[in-house]
Amino acid sequence: MRELADIARDVIANNLYLSLGTADASGDPWVSPVYYTAHGHTDFYWVSSPDALHSRNMARRPRVSMAIYDSHSPVGGAEAVYMTALAAQVADEELTDAAAVFNGRLPEAKRFEPGELLPPALFRLYRATVTEHSVLIRGGDPDYGRGADSRMTVFLR
């Protein structure tokens, strides 16, 4: 039997994009795909414009949701990890170290220098720190299934 925490770790390690869920001041939801770099399994970094809707939403409401999954999985074979997190733009004094983490997954030609992530540049670096992880449990899973797809909380600290 495969451990659920191992599934979550594999999904995080083997995918490139996460779906980032934010909400505006009135609670209207917005979901955006972002290329991410994970540091451990609790800190997720991405680069985005501060003018993007999801960035503006996070400035008002830092609580976000995220999902990572392989969109090429066959029907009935998907694995996914869902997360709730607190997200914000990385503070200037943390930018050098955080950019090194983010850049660690990028090809050299695509890496960002810290100065490229400060005003008046177009992009900023963001971090989401996970408060809870859960994994997809397929309804027919022989060990955990309940007939209908569900989620189960896992601990990845």
All structural domains of the chain with their residue ranges: 4-154
Mean pLDDT along residues 104-115: 93
Assigned superfamily of 4-154: Electron Transport, Fmn-binding Protein; Chain A (2.30.110.10)
Looking at residue 74, its pLDDT comes to 77
Report residue 60: phi and psi, to 5°: -90, -35
CA neighbours within 13 Å on the CB side: how many for 144? 15
* DSSP run (H or E) holding 99: helix 95-103
pLDDT digits (tens, 9 = 90+) for 37-61: 999 999 999 999 999 999 999 999 9
Coil, helix or strand for 113? coil
In DSSP terms, 150 is beta-bridged to 137
117-124: long-range pairs with CB below 8 Å, 24+: 117/47, 117/90, 118/92, 122/49, 123/47, 123/48, 123/49, 124/47, 124/48, 124/49, 124/50, 124/55, 124/89, 124/90
Residue 157: is its pLDDT beyond 70? no
Q: Examine the pLDDT at 133 and tell me if it is beyond 80.
A: yes
pTM given for the model:
0.92
Residues β-bridged to residue 135: 81, 152
Q: Is 63 exposed, middle or buried (0-12, 13-18, 19+ CB in 10 A)?
A: middle
* Predicted pLDDT of residue 141: 73
Predicted confidence band at 137 (pLDDT cuts at 50, 70, 90)? confident
